[in-house]
Amino acid sequence: MAKRKKPSTPTPPPITPLSDAKYKSTLREIQMELVKLQRHVIKKGEKILVIFEGRDGAGKDGIIKRMTEHMSPRDTRIIALGKPSDRDRKSWYFQRYVPHLPVEEEIVIFNRSWYNRAGVEPVMGFCTEEQTEEFLNNVPRFEAMLRQSGIQVIKYYLDITRKEQSHRLNQRLTDPLKHWKTSPIDRAALKKWDEYTRVRDEMFARTHHALAPWHVVRADNKRVARINLLKHFLGLMAYPGKDRHLAHPDPLIVFPYSEAHLEMGMIAT
């Protein structure tokens, strides 16, 4: 009896790179638009929280740098928390994040967030299965409370392929200017690729909700990812004088999470 062939993984649409001139000119236009948006946020006393998640090497630092480069440092905060303290481990899980939430007139960016408990912590054995399950049950309610308090919650997941992650993590080892980025967790990332994929998919399925949906960004090409994510962010914001040409990302680069996108191969497995 003939063996069944294993179904092939769908091939996502190719990513068209940007020329150096096009990237620089478009980024400058977007950054001017971000300044315009921030003036509105300050004037209206809005509270904006942007969460960046993704595999190690996905490009979170680079996007955050371009996003905030010309924004007011007084009204923009980037939060990248380190290893939890003994006190943090004894407290309510969300407690260490609450003091960093935006107040009126602020845009706060989390470079990784409470979603550590749905990703690196269970994969690396830093929490129990029960703690992860409790988190997955509670986080939609927590985020709903934030929305009800007037905080706009925007969640981005930067997605890269296994091949691209391997390339970027190897670059960190050979580039002396990137040595500060290396860690034991980075070295385990490729070995635990399948486990990270499993917990990521469960995170998407259980924490993608109407009040704080996940937006997936195909990030194998850093420049294309930066431009399209920032366009998408502008598109989500309501402010006067918006240049709508700069608020329309490529839907093949930035799109809402769905099982259909997984099945189509749009999200790396």
Four-point Cα dihedral 56, 59, 63, 68, nearest 10: 50
- pLDDT at residue 2 above 70? no
Average of pLDDT values for 186-205?
94
What per-residue confidence (pLDDT) applies to 11?
A: 86
Identity at 214, one-letter amino acid code:
W
Percent of the chain past pLDDT 90, that is, above it, reads 88
Length, in residues, of the chain: 269
Q: In the block, which residue shows the tokens 């480069």?
A: 69
Please report which confidence band the pLDDT of residue 6 belongs to, taking 50, 70 and 90 as the band edges.
very low
**Mean pLDDT for all residues in the chain:** 94
Q: What is the mean pLDDT of residues 132-141?
A: 98
Residue 185, pLDDT score: 81
Least reliable range by pLDDT among 8-12, 109-113, 171-175, 187-191: 8-12
> Kind and range of the H or E element at 218?
strand 214-218
The answer to whether residue 3 scores a pLDDT higher than 80 is no
The predicted pLDDT at position 8 comes to 62
Looking at residues 15-43, what average pLDDT do you find? 98
CATH architecture assigned to 29-263: 3-Layer(aba) Sandwich (3.40)
Question: Confidence band (pLDDT; 50, 70, 90) for 187?
Answer: confident
Are the C-beta atoms of 142 and 149 separated by less than 8 Å?
A: no
CA-nearest of 33, 45, 51 to 75 is: 45
Secondary structure element (H or E) that encloses residue 100, with its range: none
